[in-house]
Amino acid sequence: MSALSRFEQLMEQMVEGSVARLFRSPVQPVEIARRLERAMESQQSISVKRIIVPSFYRAYLNPQDFAAFQPVRTQLEQEMATYLSDLAAERGFTMLEHPRVTLAEEAAVPRRSIQVVAELANAQASSSTQVMSATAAQPTPARRGHAMLLLQTSAGAQPIPVETTTATMGRGLGNDIILEDTRVSRHHAQLRYKARRFWITDLNSTNGTFVNAARITETALRDGDLISLGGLELTFREG
């Protein structure tokens, strides 16, 4: 049984209990669970050996919608955290800490809407937070086509998608692409899409950034270029 199916089954059991009025609310628990799932999916940090997703989630509701959840708030928060833990395990994601979900009221949130804030860790809220509305359209890419980095490992080439127009790379958890290798600086290099091309910039790294064996400060990339971050090699592919 999938994580979502288990969560839905639990909600059905709650309907039969004393909190059936909860399910007459304009916002349903499964809707919140799906928003939490979307926040998890949208904030993946790609590492050499794993995909890291946020551990801390806050779901904001309009005070009138929130009132229906208040009697069972603690139980729902626990069950939603369990759901996210199960979901991460199903999809091969890594959480740095056991997940925690908080339901809260916010007057600025419209009725029948949900806003989710997801954080990698409490101390990094400012750099890894994204708000998602139940009614907002998903962001569209600022460019066409796609790009990826191919990391050479003992198990073969591991694709790392480049999903934004600006992406930092390094060992630090605040990077968009996390590379767990001692040769890589905490903040090693940055990829940026400009003038219809991807460019790579060295961020004053200790061991340097190289493209096709030439040390660079900044240079445009072409499909097939070999990037070396202090000796860790990645192939740039664009299509």
pLDDT attached to residue 129: 32
The whole-angstrom separation of Cα 157 and Cα 154 is: 8
What is the DSSP annotation of 102-148?
EEEE-TTSPTT-EEEEEESSGGGTTTS--EEESSSPPPPPSSSS-EE
The whole-angstrom separation of Cα 219 and Cα 152 is: 22
Encoding tokens for residue 125?
């809220």
Return phi, psi of residue 158, to 5°.
Answer: -105, 115
pTM attached to this predicted model? 0.54
pLDDT attached to residue 11: 64
CATH of domain 147-238: 2.60.200.20
Which residues make Cβ contacts (< 8 Å) with residue 210, sequence separation at least 6?
A: 216, 227, 228
Domain spans in the chain, listed from the N-terminal domain onward: 3-119, 147-238
Task: Render each residue's pLDDT in the chain as its tens digit; 239 residues.
Answer: 677 777 777 666 655 444 444 445 678 888 888 889 888 888 887 776 788 888 999 999 999 889 888 888 888 899 899 999 999 998 888 888 889 999 999 988 888 889 888 888 654 333 333 333 333 333 333 444 578 899 877 777 888 888 778 888 998 877 888 888 889 998 999 999 887 889 999 999 999 999 999 999 999 999 999 999 999 999 999 87
Cβ atoms of 173 and 180 within 8 Å: the answer is no
CATH superfamily of 3-119: FhaA, phosphopeptide-binding domain (DUF3662) (3.30.2320.60)
